[in-house]
Amino acid sequence: MRLPLTSASGHPKVLVISTSWPPVKTGGANYALRYCRELVTRGMEVHVLTRQRPDAVTDPTLTVAPIMRDWSWRSLPRLMRFVDRLGPDAIVLHFMGRIYDNHPMVTLLPALLKRRRPELRFITMMEYASGTEHIHWRRLTAMGHRWFARRVGWEGLNYEFGVLLRDSDAVMALCQSHQQRLCGLQPGLNGRCHLTPPPPLMAFSEKPPESARLAGRKALGVEPDRFLFAYFGYIYPYKGLETLIQAAAIVDRQAPDRPWRLGMLGGAAETYLRDLGRPDYPEQMRRLAEQHGIADRLIWSGYMDEDSISDILHAVDCCVLPFDSGVHLNNSSFAAVVAHGIPVLTTGGPNTDEPFEHGHNCILAEPKNAENLAQWMLRIMDDQTMRAQLRAGGIQMAQTWFSWDRTMKITMEAMGIQPLEGS
């Protein structure tokens, strides 16, 4: 059903609610910003509601309102007043329980807002299939939840996700295991839960590939003829960095005279590391490399300028993403790498999504197995034919699954919005 639009500008008016927003250093914050920019390019008038912070990133194409003190019951009136004044045609909630301090307020928004504006379209974009952990609720939080739950209806309400699964017009899951879990929690969700893996978040270099490669190598200080392995993504636990450093040490012992380097491309996920109580994790990884005697093989890029990331990726010969639990479609670093035509060595787990095909679009090594990872690194370094196959298969996978056109098409169909002519 296509709904009439209320925006005086003639553009569909969309409100994106996201507590993760730059300059917060997380993949979710980067995704939220790029998602909003993609909506704008398709003719949307986009507004963002996020947490209070003086350095919240603004954008000339968006209206950013960093006015939320927190996401508790006391902040609900402020949120409702903002929505009433704005009068959006659709709302997109960027959600994971932890990033909203495990408070249930936002999990009841679809029902609370639709009571006031029944025509409103509400979409929940799940960063992860993880809701609020009610064991952390304080007494007043639990009392407020019971009070509001009586007003929105207990039937179909879930303590972890509130009414997000029941009352959202669409739920967007970033990988198959997330989609399966969410649909298993809510009968009837299958037709409304869409698989939308995150596409690449950075702008692509406009240089010819060889020129971009040379520029990236110069930025990293890597000789043109040296084989460059790289990890790409934020630095934090569960990415398999311990396994990668141990594997690199094995490669160094078995091929001591081979000219290769390992780039650790990405900065620390500072907010997440603080939440984990491990702010010194990046330094721990540097010390681990020193203990294994391979510190001179590694290049630590830290945070990279957005305009240089694509050039640097063009410099890479093989990307190694040894996730502890195996690769999934929601790993945006994988999407960025294969879209650049880089062969990928990653890990497979019991819940690895179906599109990942060992030997075709990636190599799936054993998680947390440094010896196995090292043997694949050595083989890929020596096998140009294998690299060519992985490069071709990865590009094909990127075109099929990691497309902003695909994500936006699903989003706009869920909103009941037709793109403007020429957008």
pTM: 0.88
Regions of the chain with pLDDT less than 50: 1-6, 420-423
The residues, ordered by sequence, that sit 6+ positions from 73 with a Cβ below 8 Å of its Cβ are 105, 140, 141, 144
**Both 149 and 213 in a single domain?**
no
**Both 184 and 220 in a single domain?**
no
**Both 127 and 179 in a single domain?**
yes
The residues, ordered by sequence, that sit 6+ positions from 40 with a Cβ below 8 Å of its Cβ are 46, 61, 62
**Both 216 and 193 in a single domain?**
no
Q: 393 is in which domain, residue-wise? A: 209-401
What is residue 306's predicted lDDT score, i.e. its pLDDT?
Answer: 82
Give the H/E segment covering residue 265: strand 260-265
Does 52 map to a domain?
yes
**Both 300 and 348 in a single domain?**
yes
**Both 352 and 410 in a single domain?**
no
Q: Is 267 left (phi over 0), alpha (psi -120 to 50) or beta?
A: beta
What is residue 423's predicted lDDT score, i.e. its pLDDT?
Answer: 45
Longest dimension (CA), the chain: 70
What is residue 8's predicted lDDT score, i.e. its pLDDT?
Answer: 54
**Both 220 and 188 in a single domain?**
no
> Domain with 130 in it: what CATH number?
3.40.50.2000
φ/ψ (deg, to 5) at 388: -65, -40
Does 139 map to a domain?
yes
Tell me, what DSSP letter sits at residue 69?
S
Does 254 map to a domain?
yes
Please write the tens of the pLDDT for every residue from 14-23.
999 999 999 9
Does 172 map to a domain?
yes
Cβ-based neighbour number of residue 291 at 10 Å: 11
**Both 300 and 329 in a single domain?**
yes
Please write the tens of the pLDDT for every residue from 38-90.
999 999 999 999 999 999 999 999 999 999 999 999 999 999 999 999 999 99
What is residue 419's predicted lDDT score, i.e. its pLDDT?
Answer: 53
Does 423 map to a domain?
no
**Both 258 and 159 in a single domain?**
no
